Structure 1
Amino acid sequence: MDDPDLEKIRQQRLAQLQAQHGGGDPNQAKAQEERMQAMEEAKHSILAQALDQNARARLNTIKISKPEKAAMVENMICRMAQMGQVRNKISEQELIQILESVNQQMPKTTSSVKFDRRRAAIDSDDDDNI
């Protein structure tokens, strides 16, 4: 039962499974990290070319408060630039229009705090009656 071809196939299959499930090769993880970093640099380069200073500042402000919305806008601008839809630098007003369209696409989340004064009524008037 010492078939070298069978053992070779098993080793290849094991390597394939480890690659699919993220196990094994640290060089592969490092290469993937480098690819991600290169993609981030390319995205920043595209945004620097597509946005003017005021629009870039507004986008950075949004990124601080709502990172998921900023990521959506950045991806949208990158796609527009790659498809050739951006001829001039995007101004702040044009960025606001893009943000409004993203706001319409995003689901509305309402979070409000309601305070019922009747249940938590602690008045200074009650102290006088004691």
Structure 2
Amino acid sequence: MDDSELEKIRQARLEQLKSQGGPGKASPSAGGGSGGGGGQDSGQRQTAEARQSMLNQILQPEAADRLGRIRLVKESRATEVENRLLMLAQSGQLRAKVTEEQLKELLNAVADTKEDEKIVVSRRKAWDDDDDDLFDF
């Protein structure tokens, strides 16, 4: 596949996502159904656009593509990585645009912290639990 074919596929997928109301920028004609809360929606859209603009400034195109693919699979992971990237940029710790390799390292760091958070369920037996009597021979 050459670059023009890949670009056509990307554009078709983007249009599909827009029509479904999925991640990505919504078209201006798409939101005419809700009556109340229009100001709140506008504020959220502006916040999302500002966030996307900052991410475009700090990510190389390959890294931005990878983050977009991650968002399609697991939105919470992509949001967490974006939050970390924005925090690093605002604190001045990013000297250059983030490469795809650096993004992979950040993803691994996020995945490592997620593995540490495990939930253990311990169930207590009641004193008159009849299940213990099932196997008395």
TM-score range normalised by the length of the shorter chain: 0.5 to 0.7
CA-CA distance at 1:29 after TM superposition? 2.3
Q: Does 1:34 align with 2:42?
A: yes
Structure 1 gaps, min length 5: 1-25, 110-130
Aligned-pair Cα RMSD in Å: 2.4
* Residue 95 (structure 1) aligned to one of 81, 87, 103: 103
Percentage of pairs with the same residue: 31
Q: How many residues align?
A: 85
CA-CA distance at 1:107 after TM superposition? 4.2
For residues 1-130 of structure 1, the aligned pairs below 5 Å read 29-107=37-115
Cα deviations by residue, 1:48-85 (Å, 9 ceiling, x for unpaired): 00000111111111111111101111111111111111
Amino acid of the residue matched to residue 55 of structure 1? A
Aligned partner of 1:115 in structure 2 is none
**CA 1:28 to 1:107, structure 2 compared with 1: closer, same or farther past 3 Å?**
farther
SS of residue in 2 equivalent to 1:85: coil
Amino acid of the residue matched to residue 78 of structure 2? A
What TM-score results when the alignment is normalised by the length of structure 1? 0.58
SS of residue in 2 equivalent to 1:106: helix
Q: Distance in 1 between matches of 2:74 and 2:93?
A: 25
Structure 2 gaps, min length 5: 1-33, 118-137
Greater shift in the superposed pair: 99-108 or 62-71: 99-108
